[in-house]
Amino acid sequence: MFTITTNSPEQTSLLGEKIANLIQDNLIICLEGDLGAGKTLFTQSLCKALKVKEIVTSPTFNLMNVYEGKKRIYHFDLYRLEQPEDLEEIGFYEYTDVEDEVVLIEWPDRFFAYMPEDYLHLKIERGDSEQKRIITINLEGQKYKNIYEELKHCGNISD
């Protein structure tokens, strides 16, 4: 586990772009953070770097949005789900067993025990100023170790 500090929304966006550029096959990212922490901003920048043309929004009411770019992106918001059985009902596992796609999961905190074996976990927290973010990155499993190791060398993101 390590942390990256960003001092502006632009720097948080740069992290999303950097991760997008490191994706080789597929990638699953769990995004944890309070309302307004920057989960959707991160997702928007990652999608933009993957050449998604449509407007990227949080799928709070849809539970999942699908975007097409250089890769297909499944963007989940689990905030309204109450129990593990709900994951099965929305077909969650069909989308997380992917070959060449990206899965972004907001509000995974109640369901970590039910997540796939391999994923990156990004926890975005507000820092000591309005725009500062402390992003803790953790690797679950070994599949995305190359991305994790590359990100470790970022330290602080700067424009």
Residue 17's CATH number: 3.40.50.300
Over 90: is that where the pLDDT of 157 sits?
no
The answer as to whether 159 is a domain residue is no
The answer as to whether 127 is a domain residue is yes
State residue 97's pLDDT score: 85
| Bridge partners, 75 (sequence order) | 65, 104
Name residues whose C-beta falls within 8 Å of residue 72's C-beta, 6 or more positions apart in sequence: 66, 100, 101, 102
Residue written as tokens 């994951």?
87
Name residues whose C-beta falls within 8 Å of residue 116's C-beta, 6 or more positions apart in sequence: 28, 96, 97, 141
Indicate the average pLDDT of the chain.
92
The answer as to whether 59 is a domain residue is yes
Per-residue pLDDT tens digits for 94-115: 999 878 899 999 999 999 999 9
The answer as to whether 132 is a domain residue is yes
Q: Domains in the chain: how many in total?
A: 1
Give me the torsion for CA of 108, 112, 118, 121, rounded to 10°. 50
pTM: 0.92
Range of the domain at 13: 2-152
The answer as to whether 158 is a domain residue is no
The answer as to whether 157 is a domain residue is no
